[in-house]
Amino acid sequence: MKRNEIGEKILLGLYDLFSATEIIFSRDSLWRKMQRLGSAPDRNSFVKSFNSLQRSGFWRLSKSGKYELTKKGMTKLERLGFRESIKKQKWDGWWRVVVFDITEDKRAARDALRRKLKGFGFYPLQKSVFVFPFDCQKEIMALADFFEASENIEYITAKALGEKEQEIKRFFNLGRN
């Protein structure tokens, strides 16, 4: 794997490490997270790429001894499409249903995916079934690739949701569309 590919994986590893308000992390926490998700390069390559990204200005060492994402780092994450929430569109009357079945041995990925869907504003219909009123297939496929769970995630478009539809419309402030 080339150094810039490892660097991109490291940046993507940051995606689930912090919330929108949290931009401080440790090198070891990032390394452990990447290992849990099975996307960590060997330790030596990781350290070299991590240091290269720091020299490139994506993060800096803070006074507390932790790393802090810079504006340049945030911009890079946005370009990669993982920091922006899904933009609201005019509702077309179709529901987007995300269904996943990720095994226990990938629990960290499953839980992180669930947190991200909630963070994007999806309605949790069940533990592994989420609903959204706007087209987001590209973003969901990017998340599936990131969590290496493409075979375990289905993106379904549906016209109706059954008994909970009115409740879900209220959740999204869609009124009686």
Among 88-97, 106-115, 162-171, top mean pLDDT goes to: 162-171
CA distance linking residue 54 with residue 108, whole number of Å: 26
Give the mean model confidence (pLDDT) for residues 129-155: 86
pLDDT > 90: what percent of the chain? 24
Q: Is 40 in contact with 112 (CB distance < 8 Å)?
A: no
Q: Is 72 in contact with 64 (CB distance < 8 Å)?
A: no
Residue 124, pLDDT > 90, answer: yes
Q: How confident is the model at residue 157 (pLDDT cuts 50, 70, 90)?
A: very high
Average pLDDT, the chain: 79
Q: How confident is the model at residue 22 (pLDDT cuts 50, 70, 90)?
A: very low
pLDDT > 70: what percent of the chain? 75
- Give the per-residue pLDDT at 78: 57
Give the mean model confidence (pLDDT) for residues 52-66: 84
Instruction: Please report, for residues 14, 52, 59, 162, 170, the alpha-carbon distance to residue 10 in angstroms, rounded to integers and kept in the order given.
Output: 7, 11, 12, 42, 39
Among 17-31, 69-83, 127-141, top mean pLDDT goes to: 127-141
Contacts (Cβ under 8 Å, ≥6 apart) of 158: 94, 95, 97
pTM of the model: 0.55
Q: Is 16 in contact with 27 (CB distance < 8 Å)?
A: no
Which of residues 87 and 149 earns the better pLDDT score? Answer: 149
Q: How many residues does the chain have?
A: 177
**Would you list the DSSP string of 46-91?**
HHHHHHHHHHTTSEEE-TTSSEEE-HHHHHHHHHTTSSSPPPP---
Residue 99, pLDDT > 90, answer: yes
- Give the per-residue pLDDT at 84: 47
Which of residues 91 and 22 earns the better pLDDT score? Answer: 91
